[in-house]
Amino acid sequence: MRRPLEPKQYTSGAFAELAERLGVRLSVGRTGQCWDNALAESFFATLKGELLGDRPWPSRAAARSAVFEFIEGWYNLHRLHSSLGYVSPAAYEAAFAA
């Protein structure tokens, strides 16, 4: 699965300078620096490794539905996350809200 390239307006120097002046923290990392956005990189690696792989999909709609079910039905509810102390996001959120 390939992620789309970041739109030019989000990677331009002028946009970065404006964001800095306004106190906005940008989430787009530097080119070639995967650790700048490690959680997103980890998520996409998991999505590709556990769901997508090199498997062909009958349609874009089928792939989109499978990705939604993976995220909302498994990844956010049941899958243990090392960044959350090896609990699921749902359990972490419930404990945090309690």
How do residues 12-52 score in pLDDT, each as one tens digit? 778 788 888 998 877 656 666 666 677 788 888 999 999 98
Burial class (CB in 10 A: 0-12, 13-18, 19+), 84: middle
> Residues 19, 54: one domain?
no
> Residues 53, 23: one domain?
no
Quick one: pLDDT at residue 13? 79
Number of domains into which the chain is organized: 2
- Domain of 67, in residue numbers: 39-97
Q: Quickly state the pLDDT bin for 1 (edges 50, 70, 90).
A: very low
The alpha carbon dihedral of 41, 67, 25, 12 has a sign of positive
In terms of phi and psi (left: phi > 0; alpha: psi -120 to 50; beta: otherwise), the region of 56 is: beta
Tokens encoding 15: 């946009």
Confidence check: pLDDT of 4 > 60: no
> Residues 50, 76: one domain?
yes
| 68 HSE (CA, 13 A, CB side) | 6
> Residues 26, 44: one domain?
no
> Residues 66, 88: one domain?
yes
Most confident of 4-8, 42-46, 54-58, 65-69: 65-69
pLDDT digits (tens, 9 = 90+) for 66-98: 999 999 999 988 999 888 899 998 899 999 887
Q: Which residue's entry shows tokens 């989000």?
A: 10
> Residues 19, 60: one domain?
no
The answer, as to whether pTM is greater than 0.75, is: no
Q: Do 81 and 88 meet the contact criterion of CB atoms below 8 Å apart? A: yes
